[in-house]
Each structure stands twice: as structure tokens, then as C-alpha cells.
Structure 1
């Protein structure tokens, strides 16, 4: 089994709503031996959080402040983003970072910030799931560098070519978020490059999910990633034994900057 890699996972609220602060944290993390820096993608959050940063601008700052770290939104609810715009953003960011972008995707939700209902976005989970899958089709086509001709249920891209392509081939790696045990997210993740389980409560549950993914992927797991977010202090080793390839310390929304620096100083998984 490959080494368990470690990434900061930063909610871009309040103390972390300044892109220069987050870029500095990422540079310090790289120097301290961390492997990645992923950021939340939200328009709003419930009180007492009041300040929110845009993830794509922050990721551009991280890309220019680091040389080695893997980076990306974890996760981006594609149903509230135009896929053609995301195609441009991801290709540009992958080139800016010299091929270090990972795109985390998911359904998103309205529970904590009302960011779907307050902006007139789709609230039905299944419909957002179809929008997510359609967006992923468009992104894969766009990253190929060939003309995209897509006329779907939710989106139209009529004979556009998205150049320059991302550095990574065949495109930017995509990890899908989902609850373990729910078949639709697992099937979606099996078609992609990684899985980001939500609310993972026990390594045995992860092992069950990994077994399902292995079966769906017909054993092709050598380059597949599984990222687990765990509260600081929880030993990631049992999850690594169950199949995790990435460990992300879970930080609360509105976390003080000093707390983040403490997690950073504690270092990556050994």
C-alpha cells in the first residue's frame, strides 16, 4: 500500500477568508511536509460565520505560493456552477499549478447557509445529481481539447473548444463526495478518480465502501484515491489500513487561525 498522504482542508470563513493568509498557510504546510491543501466551496454559512472567500481565487493564490502541494476545491457543488465556466477555470488553474489540481465534486446542500434557496438554485437532490453528472460529461469533453457539442437536459455547449488543455492527462482528476452506503454516489465515484466519504464514522464502514468500489471498478484501484476527513486527534492509521490514501484533518467552520497553525505544526500523518 502507498504512503498515506496528508492535506489541510480549510473552511474559507472568517480568519480564513483572506487569500493571502491561506496562501501563507499552504506555503508553510508545504515546507512542513504536507502533501496537499484543499478548500471548502461555499457562498455562505450560518452565523456566527460572516466572512466568506471565493475558493477559485484562493486556490490561484495557493498555486502561486507553492510548488509541490496538491490543491483543489473539496468539494464544489457543480449544480450551482456553469460547466463551461468551470472547464475554463479548472484548465487555467491546472496550468497555473503545473498540473497539481484535483477537482472535488458533490451535490452540495442548503442546510448550513441557505446558499441554494437564497440564490434560486435547484433544491431537489436527484435533479442536482443529474446536473452534476451532466456537468462531469461536459468537463471530460472540454479537457480533451476537442470541440464540445453537448445538448443535454440542463446544459448546452454548442461547438466550443476549450484550449489550452489542462496539463494533466486525460484531464484533471475528479473525486466525488458522498455518504457511504448510498449507491448513487458510490457508482458515480467509481467512474471517476477518487471518493471523498462524508460523515465517515468507523474504519469498518470505509472498508465496506472500498470493497464496493473495488468491485465496481473491477479491481482497478492502483491509481484510485480515497480521502477521509477526521477530527484532529483521531488516528488515521486504521483508515489507511481500510483503504484511505489521503487524510484531511477536519476543522470547524470559523476555526481560529491559531488552531489551524497548531494542526499544521503537528504535521502530516507519519
Structure 2
């Protein structure tokens, strides 16, 4: 069985809700994650609905401060940007980092708050899925470095080239979020899959669907939230505080749609091994805590070895 890889989600949103606004500290977290053996570092995207530092600018700084970790967006909303500009930004970041970018993307979760963000930026929310697909198609053309043309329902251009081209031929791998009906899109156009289903069985079923229908190799990943504490009840309360502050919504609702764990490191590893058995191979970890330094170390020292042990057996 392939080794499980682990990524770390930078707390860009957590900084905003706490009023810290210290992007340099985010870079320090990334450097520490690399030193502890994490395989990737990620940044989320939401300029208005869930405000945070811009993910591509943060990752550009991380690219200069690190040497090994992959740099991912979890996840970027292409429909809010023109594909020529986004292809240029991602291509430059890939070149800057020496080919370490993973372009995690999504259409946008169907909530009133997300719709308001699209409206503020003058983008029809109902078209977000098709815009996502057109953007990916257009960016892959542009990442060739040649002059290309594209004509879609929402974007069109003729004889356009961008420079510098990405470090990797063809550009960064594109990972897509989503489950259910979105699986067809993942199987059709994605290089990776980054969902967060709260149940192992759902993950296994959807991963099987992608494996059977994908047109190219797809990396099965998982976006999961952890709050670690040797006292499970205390962990649950910390998780509640963090999640309700992050989303401005009840924990019970968010936990019904997202993979979340609160409890001891040993139980976290056992829970995570259920996803590994279901097919997950790259775990993007979000920590529900105010102390990311300790969380990074605790997960690396007490959770990951147990998951890796299961993977190697």
C-alpha cells in the first residue's frame, strides 16, 4: 500500500477571526511544518465570506522560506478570477517554488454567504460550476507556454500566451473538492480529489466511483479537522469554540458535512486509519486550536507514526 502523505492547512482564517493579521507568522508555521516532516502546506481562499490572507501571496512567501513541501490551495475558487490571470499567478508560483504547487480548486459551497461573495464580485453564482471547468481547461492550455486560443460560454480569448510557464510541463496538478454529483467532474478532469466526508463508508464508496471512472490517475486525498487533547470532553469543547468562530454556525451542522475529530491522539490515528483503509493517501490536516506550534508537533509525534504504521503493514 502506498505511504500516506500529510499536509498542514495554514490558519489564515483563524488569524482573521482572532484579529491577529500576521502573515509572517503563517510562514513560520509552514517552515516548522516542513521541519517536522509534513509533506505539504495549504492555504484556503475566501476574500469576503470567510476573510483571510490571500492564499497565493501567502504561498509565494512560503515558497521562498521552504525547500521541500508541496504548496496547495484548499481550495481556490477560480470562478472569482479570470483564467488568464489565475493561470499567470499559479504558473509564476509553480516556477518560484520549483514545481511544488498543487492547485486545489472548488466551485463554492451552496450557502447564502458564499452566494453573497459571488454577487459582490459580479459573478453569477449559478454559473460557478461551468466557470470552474472552463477555467481549468483554459489554464491547462495557457500553461503550455505557447500562444493559445479558447472559446467557452463564460471565457474567450485568442492567441494569448503567458510567461513564465510553470516549472512542471502541463502545469500544476489540479485537485478538486466535492462529492456526490461533483464526482463526475473529478473523474473527468481532475488530477486529485480533496473531499471531507464525515463517514468512512461514504469516502470509500465515492473513492471507488472515481477509481472506476477517472480518465487520468487521481490522487485520493482528505481534508480533515482535528482537535487533540488527552481529555476528549475538553477537546470537544475546544473544537466547538474554534469551529463556531470560524464558520459562525453550530458545530453540529458543520460536523454533519465535514470530517472532524476531537479526542486523544491515539483515537485520532484509529479514526484516520478508517479513511486510509477507504483509500485516502494524502491527508490535509486543519487544527482547531489557538496553539498551532503544539498541534503540529503533537500530530507529527503521536498521530502520524500510528497512521504510517498501519499504512506499512
Identify the residue that residue 235 of structure 2 maps to in structure 1.
none
| Structure 1 CA distance for aligned equivalents of residues 286 and 33 of structure 2 | 15
Identify the residue that residue 115 of structure 1 maps to in structure 2.
117
| Structure 2 CA distance for aligned equivalents of residues 111 and 38 of structure 1 | 25
Residue 66 of structure 1 deviates from its aligned partner by 0.5
Equivalent pairs, count: 253
| Structure 2 CA distance for aligned equivalents of residues 37 and 13 of structure 1 | 15
Residue 123 of structure 1 deviates from its aligned partner by 1.8
| Structure 1 CA distance for aligned equivalents of residues 88 and 22 of structure 2 | 24
The 5 Å alignment of 1:127-166 reads: 127-166=127-166
Distance 1:151 1:69, change over 3 A: same
Contact 1:34 / 1:267 at 8 angstroms: preserved in 2?
no
Higher RCO (CA 8 Å, separation ≥ 6 residues)? 1
1:230 to 224, 230, 248: 224
Greater C-alpha radius of gyration: 2
| Structure 2 CA distance for aligned equivalents of residues 8 and 14 of structure 1 | 14
2:298 to 257, 266, 269: 266
Residue 112 of structure 1 deviates from its aligned partner by 4.4
Unaligned runs of 5+ in 1: none
Residue 68 of structure 1 deviates from its aligned partner by 0.5
Alignment TM-score, normalising by the size of structure 2: 0.75
Contact 1:207 / 1:243 at 8 angstroms: preserved in 2?
yes
Identify the residue that residue 193 of structure 2 maps to in structure 1.
195
| Structure 2 CA distance for aligned equivalents of residues 91 and 249 of structure 1 | 25
| Structure 2 CA distance for aligned equivalents of residues 171 and 266 of structure 1 | 34
Unaligned runs of 5+ in 2: 227-262, 306-313
Q: Is 1:27 matched with 2:31?
A: yes
Alignment TM-score, normalising by the size of structure 1: 0.87
Give the SS at the match of 2:101. Answer: coil
Contact 2:10 / 2:29 at 8 angstroms: preserved in 1?
no
| Structure 2 CA distance for aligned equivalents of residues 90 and 152 of structure 1 | 21
| Structure 1 CA distance for aligned equivalents of residues 199 and 4 of structure 2 | 17
Moved over 6 A (4+): none
